[in-house]
A and B are shown apart, each in its own frame.
Chain A
Amino acid sequence: MFYLNVFLQSLYKNKVRAIIYLALCFMITFLSIYKSSILDLMKKNLSHLQEEVSFQVAVDDSFSNKEKIEKSESLPGVTSVIKLSSAEVVSRLGEISDQYDVNLGNVLNEVSIYKISLNPGISIRNQNLVRKYFEKLLNNSESIISPLDFPSAALSEQTSIFINTIENIFKVILFVLFLSFFVSHYFLTLEIFKQSYIIENFQRKKKVGLKATTSGSAIFLALIGMSFLINYSKGYIFLTFLIIFFITLYIIQSQRMIKN
Chain B
Amino acid sequence: MESQPISLSRNSKTLQGSKVKLFSFKGVDVYSKKNHLLRKINLEISRGDFKFVTGKTGAGKTTLLNLIADDCPGLSISGAVYREEAVQNNSIFTSRIFQDLKVFKNMTVLSNLEYCFDPNLYSRVLFEKEMHDYSRMLGIREKLGVKLSECSGGIIQKVAVLRAILAKPDVILADEPTSSLDKASSQTVYEIFKLLNKNFSTTIIWATHDRDLVRSLSGEIIHIENGKLAHQGSTCFI
Contacts and interface: CB of A to CB of B under 8 A. Distances in A.
Contacts of B209: none
B11 interface: no
B74 interface: yes
Contacts of A204: 90-91, 93, 118, 120-121
Given A13-B106, A13-B107, A201 B90 contact: no
Contacts of A206: 90
A82 B111 CA distance: 68
Contacts of A198: 102, 104, 115
Interface residues of B, number: 22
Nearest to A6: B115
Interface string A49-79: 0000000000000000000000000000000
A208 to B, nearest CB: 11
A260 B164 contact: no
A35 to B, nearest CB: 38
Contacts of B121: 204
Interface residues of A, number: 13
B62 interface: no
A260 B107 contact: no
Contact of B115 (A203, A259, A260): A203
A199 B90 contact: no
A195 B116 CA distance: 12
Tell me whether chain A's interface is mostly helix, strand or loop, or mixed: helix
Contact of B73 (A13, A201, A203, A260): A260
A253 to B, nearest CB: 15
Given A202-B95, A204-B93, A206-B90, A260 B74 contact: yes
B167 interface: yes
Given A13-B106, A202-B163, A203-B116, A259 B90 contact: no
Nearest to B106: A13
A202 B104 CA distance: 14
A202 B115 contact: yes
Interface string A184-201: 000000000001011101
B223 interface: no
Contacts of A199: 115
Interface in A197-249: 197-199, 201-206
Nearest to B163: A202
B39 interface: no
Contacts of B93: 204
B158 interface: no
**Which of A201, A203, A260 has the most chain B CB atoms closer than 10 A to its own CB?**
A201
A260 to B, nearest CB: 5
Nearest to B114: A9
Nearest to A13: B107
B95 A259 contact: no
A259 B73 CA distance: 7
Nearest to B96: A201
Given A13-B106, A13-B107, A202 B74 contact: no
Contact of A201 (B95, B111, B120): B95
Given A259-B73, A260-B73, A260-B74, A202 B106 contact: no
A202 B116 contact: yes
A88 to B, nearest CB: 65
Given A204-B121, A205-B118, 15 more contacts: A13-B104, A13-B106, A13-B107, A13-B111, A197-B102, A201-B102, A202-B118, A202-B164, A202-B167, A203-B167, A204-B90, A204-B120, A206-B90, A259-B73, A260-B73
Interface of B: 73-74, 90-91, 93, 95-96, 102, 104, 106-107, 111, 115-118, 120-121, 163-164, 166-167
20 contacts: A13-B107, A195-B104, A195-B115, A197-B102, A198-B104, A199-B115, A201-B167, A202-B95, A202-B118, A202-B163, A203-B115, A203-B118, A203-B167, A204-B90, A204-B91, A204-B121, A205-B118, A206-B90, A260-B73, A260-B74
Closest 6 CB pairs of A and B: A202-B167, A203-B118, A202-B116, A260-B73, A204-B90, A198-B115
